[in-house]
A and B are shown apart, each in its own frame.
Chain A
Amino acid sequence: DAGVTQSPTHLIKTRGQQVTLRCSPKSGHDTVSWYQQALGQGPQFIFQYYEEEERQRGNFPDRFSGHQFPNYSSELNVNALLLGDSALYLCATSVGRGTEAFFGQGTRLTVV
């Protein structure tokens, strides 16, 4: 049973560029949430997708957007990258409205 997979694992981008991160959910899971984790901090909720729609959103600017595909996989897009966007980006998946969430290994984004 494949768990949650994220790609790429590492990424270096220049300030002002755009980035797309990808997530494939654990088998049987249909809900995808994205989190940002700064060094030494707990993950912060960005948004959640269910049935291809954004269901909840955290306190992040519109530069952060996402998408969910019919196969439940998801993308996180960040535009106009800032140095402060450097972090570990985590995808978590669950079933329906369930809160039992399983995380991928994350994508480490460095903005220079």
Chain B
Amino acid sequence: QKEVEQDPGPLSVPEGAIVSLNCTYSNSAFQYFMWYRQYSRKGPELLMYTYSSGNKEDGRFTAQVDKSSKYISLFIRDSQPSDSATYLCAMSGGTSYGKLTFGQGTILTVHP
């Protein structure tokens, strides 16, 4: 079993839809949770960075962490074609502090 599981999709939605992306994990020591966006053939771009449980909002993006369920989510409101990319969740903590463990990535396409 992988430490971080992420549905690879692909996910296709119409412009303006609310998108929900999710990851589950097995390592209870993880305390830091990140979402990255990666366009084709580019490096990952940090979207959201959260510590422990709770919600964090930044513009159209909301990150949620539920440590009791070992489940994190990223919501994108009013999705745009420019949001089309691969979204990667990443985590760190405990003995692997500083090392990021990634999910497989979810491919998202927002069509006009």
Chain A positions within 8 Å of B, measured between CB atoms, are 4, 6, 31, 33, 35, 40-45, 48, 55-56, 58, 88, 90, 92, 94, 97-106, 108
Contacts and interface: CB of A to CB of B under 8 A. Distances in A.
Contacts of B6: 42
12 contacts: A40-B8, A41-B105, A42-B103, A42-B104, A43-B88, A56-B96, A99-B34, A99-B49, A101-B34, A101-B100, A103-B36, A106-B42
B98 A42 contact: no
A30 B96 CA distance: 18
Nearest to B36: A103
Nearest to B99: A45
- Residue of A44, A55, A103 with most partner-chain B CB within 10 A: A103
A31 B105 CA distance: 25
A41 B4 CA distance: 12
Contact of A33 (B34, B36, B49, B98): B98
A74 B24 CA distance: 33
B22 to A, nearest CB: 14
Nearest to A41: B104
B100 A100 contact: no
Interface of B: 4, 6, 8, 32, 34, 36, 41-46, 49, 88, 90, 92-93, 96-105
Contacts of B104: 40-42
B98 A103 contact: no
A89 to B, nearest CB: 10
A43 B99 contact: no
B102 A99 contact: no
Given A90-B44, A106-B43, A108-B41, A45 B101 contact: yes
B75 to A, nearest CB: 20
A50 to B, nearest CB: 8
A80 to B, nearest CB: 25
A103 B45 contact: yes
A101 B6 CA distance: 20
